[in-house]
Amino acid sequence: MSLDGKNIFVTGGLGFIGSHTVLVLLEHGAKVHLIDNLSNSFPRVYDHMKKLAGDKADKMTYTQCDINDGEGLTKIFEKETFDCVIHFAGYKAVGESVDKPLEYYRNNFVGTVVLLEVMRKFGLKNMVFSSSCTVYGLPEEVPITEAAPLKAISPYGRTKLFQEDMFRDIAVSDKDWRILLLRYFNPIGAHPSGDLGEHPVGIPNNLMPYIQQVALGQREFLRVFGSDYPTPDGTAIRDYIHVMDLAEGHVSAVVKVLATADLGCTPINLGTGKGSSVLEMIRAFEAASGKKVEHKLMDRRPGDSVAVWAATETAEKQLGWKSKFNVDDMCKHQWAWASKYPQGYETPL
């Protein structure tokens, strides 16, 4: 699958999924201009990306810019013609969004309005959007298909759902827009080299970064939120997907957008179609790291679903894409990153 000669604009390009996707875009022959406002990342990520990009690093450009900065975006679009935008930028902590809804709506929703206005001004109507399984809320049945009811249950989830609704309205108003909404399940893992990975700021909300920090001895134990769920081992089930599989999924999505005139606005799940419980993830990480992950069974976390995993037929049919890595690979690569950079991008070089 080639993107030779294509120029891709990536927002949030120094983030966890953005940084891995940029590297895979380069591998497929694309040029990439990425922006990031550094609200949840580090300038040093770009150094790691350049090291991994090797001789393709000269196809990559980085500008510190916020999607809410219409002038800054315009300056970039005046100098370069892009074939497609991949839009990752946005705040993404569920818990934080409950405390700071206004900041989430302004940054995630209004920021996307500003980005879309600049795209329209320059006649660019090709978009791959970073959406999330969170738009499904508490699913009534699994596997979850793209036709499942949409009912976000957090301000963060609603910013994703409202952005999706805006994209759907735009596609109805102007048939020239080609938009894919990629609904990720639970992204984990790291670049197989161990030189790029996730660096959560503060106390991790998500399972795998927390497990990682327990394995490193940085946290005393993992709280397992709920052991009385109607699942085989009583703990909740999720569809964990390798960040490198997600990155490949984005390349397939860009190829699809560029090749499909009447695409409109289409949602596509990016998951493995397999579920793993919290206890299974603990065991997998212990096997990959050789470290004990101390944990205590606690009450359920409010708002959590019992079991979530993706129906993957649409991605296979529309993109010709399916995940390749399994949970052991995800844990092995995450441990390679964690053991090499125990303080993430703040690890002294």
Q: Which residue has the tokens 């894919």?
A: 180
Which residue's CB is nearer to ligand WQD, number 72 or number 189?
189
Which residue's CB is nearer to ligand WQD, number 304 or number 328?
304
**Rounded Cα–Cα distance for residues 301 and 278 (Å):** 13
> Is 8 a residue that touches ligand WQD (CB under 6 A)?
no
> Is 223 a residue that touches ligand WQD (CB under 6 A)?
yes
Residue 115 and residue 87 in contact, taking contact as beta carbons nearer than 8 Å: yes
Which residue's CB is nearer to ligand WQD, number 53 or number 142?
142
Q: What is the longest distance spanned by two Cα atoms in the chain?
A: 57
- From 37, 132, 227, 252, residue interacting with ligand WQD (rule: CB under 6 A): 132
> Is 82 a residue that touches ligand WQD (CB under 6 A)?
no
> Is 304 a residue that touches ligand WQD (CB under 6 A)?
yes
Element (H, E) at 242: strand 240-242
Work out the burial of residue 325: count CB atoms within 10 Å of its CB; fewer than 13 is exposed, 13-18 middle, 19 or more buried.
buried
Residue 57 and residue 22 in contact, taking contact as beta carbons nearer than 8 Å: no
Strands 222-225 and 84-87: what pairing? unpaired
Min dist. Cβ of residue 236 to ligand WQD (A): 3
> Which 93-112 positions form the footprint of ligand WQD (CB under 6 A)?
94
Active site annotation includes 210? no
> Is 168 a residue that touches ligand WQD (CB under 6 A)?
no
Could you tell me which stretch among 105-113, 220-228, 265-273, 286-294 binds ligand WQD (CB under 6 A)? Answer: 220-228
> Is 41 a residue that touches ligand WQD (CB under 6 A)?
no
**Rounded Cα–Cα distance for residues 47 and 320 (Å):** 32
How many chain residues interact with ligand WQD (CB under 6 A)? Answer: 19
DSSP single-letter state for residue 341: -
The residue among 138, 153, 158, 13 whose CA lies nearest residue 88 is 13
The residue among 144, 3, 148, 193 whose CA lies nearest residue 86 is 3
In the set 62, 136, 156, 210, the catalytic residue is 156
Min dist. Cβ of residue 125 to ligand WQD (A): 25
For ligand WQD, the binding residues (CB under 6 A) are: 92, 94, 132, 134, 184, 186, 205-207, 210, 222-225, 236, 238, 278, 301, 304
Residues with catalytic roles: 156
